[in-house]
Amino acid sequence: MDSTSIEKACRFCPRCGKEAEVEEQGRVPFRCTQCEFANFFGPVAAVGGLVTNEQGELLLVRRAREPEKGKWGLPGGFVERNESIEEALSREVLEETNLCVSEASYLTSFPNLYDYAGAVSPVIDLFYLCQVVDQAVIQLADGELDSFLWVKPTQKHLSEMAFPSNRRAIEKWLSGA
């Protein structure tokens, strides 16, 4: 199945039902010519945690499902409705690894495109340096992740990352910026 942007997948106005007219290069990807409704299709927020151990190694987790099944990433995921970024970070790290975030500090953010089941959505990934309560209790989310590594990331690890935004966040962390 070919992937399509979320803008092109939305073919009808959610307010009046008129067929969509998508502006390819405009600032507003969807504007209804009948009722004037506009949808900017702004990015969805997601979080990623850079969890390190006492040896200065970074926790990488391997994806057990699409998109990018079998590739490495950072613990994290989408922010849910009525949830703060910090709450999402703590929840996602806990759900995916069974680790409790005790402290988090903002590192960086990068745009990302998330291709799921053929629909591509814009995402803004926010990355945090995380300290956790007990690193010995890692238990991966069944069906979501299938392996983890504590590593000092090398180019090989970076080349096997599921998402470019994760790679860029790790590169920024490695640079000490």
pLDDT digits (tens, 9 = 90+) for 99-146: 999 999 999 999 999 888 787 888 999 999 999 988 888 999 999 999
Tell me the domains of the chain and their CATH numbers.
1-41 (no CATH), 44-175 (3.90.79.10)
Return mean pLDDT, the chain: 90
Torsion angles phi and psi, residue 132, rounded to 5: -120, 160
Q: What pLDDT does residue 47 have?
A: 99
At residue 11, does pLDDT exceed 90?
no
d(CA 149, CA 60): 5
The model's pTM = 0.85
pLDDT band of residue 1 (cuts 50, 70, 90) is low
**Which of 3-17, 80-94, 123-137 has the lowest average pLDDT?**
3-17
